[in-house]
A = this chain, B = another copy of it.
Amino acid sequence: MSLRPLWDARGIAVIGASDRAGAIGRLPVQFLQRYGYAGPIYPVRPDGAPVAGLPSHASVADVPGPVDLAMVMVAADRVISAVRDCAAAGVPVVVVCSSGFAEVGEDGAALQDELVATARELGVRVLGPNCIGTVGTTTGQVSSFSPLFAGEHTQLVPGSLGFVSQSGALGYGAVSLAFERGLGLGWVVNTGNEADISATEVLAELAQEPGCAGLLAYAESLGDLAPLADVVAGGTPVALLKAGRSDAGARAAASHTGALAAHDAVVDAALRQIGVVRVDDVDELLDVGDVMDLARTVRGHTIRRVAIVTTSGGSGILAADAIEAHGLRLAELSEQTLTTLDDIVPAYGSTANPVDVTASVMSNPALFDDALGAIAGDDGVDAIVACFCVLTGSDVDAVVTALSQVRERTGVPVIAVRTGADHLAPTAAATMRAAGLPVYQTPARAVRALAALAQFAAPPVREKTTGASPAARPDTPSTRTDWSSLSEGATDEHALKALLREAGLPVPVGRIVTGADDAVAAVQEAGGRAVAKAVVPGLLHKSDAGGVILDVTPERAAEVHDQLAAMGGQVLMEEMVPGGVEALVGSTDTPLGRIITVGVGGVLTEIVADVALRLLPVERADVEEMLDDTRLGRLLGGVRGQGPADRGALVDAVLGIADLAAALPEGAELDLNPITVLADGRGCRILDAALALPDAAPATPDSPPDPEGD
C-alpha cells in the first residue's frame, strides 16, 4: 500500500481536533490552511463544533469527501478505536500523534502491540505513534503540529530532498535549519515510535517520488537495511545521522525507542557497504544534503583528484588537510596548466595545487576565468574546491558567474567556500545556490560534503541485496553444506573441519585415531611429524588445558595418544603446518544481519586486537578492503624481512567461509583462528575451528570466550 498520502493526500481528517488557541488538536488544521493545502480538511470532534473556521464532524464516518490520511490526536486509550473508525471509513493511512505507547513503559508497549495488530488486521498503515506528523511542501500539506509552523516568519522551502526523522523535535529543528539555509525539502516525515511504518520504508517510497534527488535521515535504531541498499543502488543518495554511536548514546537510544541497538561498528560497516553516507551531526547532515542535487550530474564518475583554487593560503591548507583526511587526493596539475597559471598568478600567490590566485586575480574576472578554465580543463582534476574569505558584495557576481560557467562548460563539480559574515555579501548564498554551486562557511565542511559527493557519484557496485541469499547462488560451496549434520553440542573441531574440507576450504590433513598404534601410523601418514589434539565435546581452551601437543614424532605418538585420550574424548592427529601469518575469520549474528570478521589472529589476536567486519554477503573487493583496513594486510605483505604471504589464498578462503557462514543457523557463532597463511603460492590452512550453536550448553560455563581460538 502506498504511503504517498503522508505528503500528498487527497483529503485529510484530523481526529481529536480542537478550536482552543494553541491546542495541538487545532494546529494541523490551522497549518494546513496557512500553508495553502488545497485538498479538503475535515476536523473530527464529538460535539461537531467548528475548528479554525471549518465545520467539524462527529466521526470520520461522517466526513463527506474522500479521505486518504487521518491524523489521530486523541488520548492513547482512544487511539485504537479511532483507527477502527478510519478503517471502516476506508482511510488507508493514519498518523498517530498521541503519546502513551512504547515510550512510557510496559503498559504502553502492550497498547502499541494491540494498535499494530489492529491496524494489520484492518489493512490500515500507521505512522507513529508518538510522532509530530508529516509535510509535503509543494502541496502545502503541513499535516503536523510542530511549533516550527507557528513561527511568524516560517516559510516552506520546497526542494528535491526528502527528510525522514525518528525524532520529532530534533527532526523539525533540523528542518527549520534546512529552510533557513535555503536547502529545499520536498517531503518531511517524522516516524516516532515506528510501530508499523519504519523510516527505511518511508525512505524507499520517497526515492520513487518524481523529482526526489536525495534523502536525509535521522535514526536511533535501524532494522532491515535491504530497502535502503536498494534505494542507493537505484541511484538515490542517502545521508544518515545515526544516533547512539557511543555506548552511552546507545543506552539512551535504547531507553528512548525501546529498540535493541546494533553495535556501532556493525552499523558503520553496514552503512558503508550499502553506500549510505553516515554523518555525525545535524550540520553535517545538511551540508551533505547541499551536494545531493549535484550528485545526479556526476553519477558514475570517479571523484578523487581535487584541485583547490583559493584567495587565501590559509584556506587552501585547511582544504588540503580535509582532502587527505577524507581519503581524497590533491590533484597534480599538468605542465600545461601550470604554464597557463604562471602567466596569471602573481609571484606572491602559488600555481601549485592549492592554487593561490590571490585577491588581485579575483578583482580581474577575465584572469580568474582563465585560471579556473585551465584548472577545470586539466584531465587530472575530478573536482574543484574554490575558497574565498572576505568576499564583498560586488565581487560575488563575477565569482559566481565564473564558477558556474566553468562547471557548465567542463562538467567538473565545483564546491565553494566563503569564510565570511553573511552581511558582507548578503546575496552570495542565494546566488550561488541558484547557480547550483554548493557553498560552505569553512574549507573542512566543504570537503566533507565533496567526499560525500564522491561516494554518491560512485556507489558500491553490488547486486540487489533483497532475496539474494548466498545459498541461492549457484556453484557456491554453501549449496553443498549441510550444517544440520552438526547436531547440538557436536561442534567438535574434527567434525567442523571435515565440513570445511567438504566445502573446499583448506584444512590440515588429519584424522581421528583409534588407539596408540593407529596414532603412530597417523603420524607417519602425516609425514613423520604431527599435531595431536584432544577432541572432547565442549572442551574450550584446548591449549590451556594441555589438549594440544605439537611436533609429535612416531616415537612419541603412542605416549601422546594415551595422554590426550585420558582427557576423556578422541584424539586427532594432523599434519604439522609450517609457520606463517596468522589470521582469524569469524561470523556472528547481529540485529542488522550476519557479519563476517577478518583480522589478525593467533597469538597476536588479543594483543593487536585489530579486526574488520562486514555484513554478509561480501564480494572479493570487500575482503580485500578488510585486509587493508587492519594490520593483517601489512603482515601479509611481509614484515621483519619476511616475503609476502599468500594473500590470494586467504581471500579465497574468506569468500568460501562467508558463503558457508551465510547458511549457518540463527545465533550460531563461527570462529576460525588461527588460519595460517603460508608463503605466496603455498596457500593457507585453517588450523583451528570452533562453532557455538545457540542452544549448545557450554561445557565450562564459567570460562570467558577465548579470543585465541582454543
User: What residues make up the interface of A, taking CB atoms closer than 8 Å to B?
Assistant: 99-100, 103-105, 108, 130, 146-148, 150-154, 165-174, 176-177, 179-180, 218, 220, 241, 243-249, 251-253, 255-257, 280-283, 311-318, 320-321, 323-325, 329-330, 347-348, 350, 352, 354, 356, 359, 389-390, 392-393, 419-424, 441-445, 544, 603-604, 606-609, 631, 634-635, 639-641, 708
Contact = CB atoms under 8 A, between A and B. Distances in A.
Contact of A631 (B280, B315, B609): B609
Given A169-B313, A169-B389, A180-B423, 19 more contacts: A108-B347, A147-B392, A154-B421, A168-B312, A169-B311, A170-B419, A171-B314, A173-B312, A177-B441, A179-B421, A246-B324, A248-B321, A256-B350, A257-B313, A281-B442, A282-B441, A282-B442, A283-B442, A607-B608
Contact of A243 (B179, B244, B321): B321
A541 to B, nearest CB: 9
Contact of A325 (B246, B255, B283, B640): B246
Contacts of A442: 281-283
Contacts of A441: 177, 282-283
A390 B169 contact: yes
A304 to B, nearest CB: 13
Q: Is the interface of A mostly helix, strand, loop or mixed?
A: helix
A247 to B, nearest CB: 6
Contacts of A321: 243-246, 248-249, 280
20 contacts: A99-B348, A100-B347, A130-B348, A151-B392, A151-B421, A153-B424, A154-B421, A169-B311, A172-B389, A177-B441, A180-B422, A220-B314, A245-B321, A249-B320, A253-B317, A280-B321, A281-B444, A281-B445, A544-B641, A607-B639
Contacts of A99: 348
B255 A180 contact: no
A312 B151 contact: no
Given A320-B252, A424-B176, A631-B608, A170 B348 contact: no
B320 A246 contact: yes
Contacts of A283: 441-442, 445
A421 B286 CA distance: 13
B255 A640 contact: no
Contacts of A146: 390
Contacts of A323: 246, 248
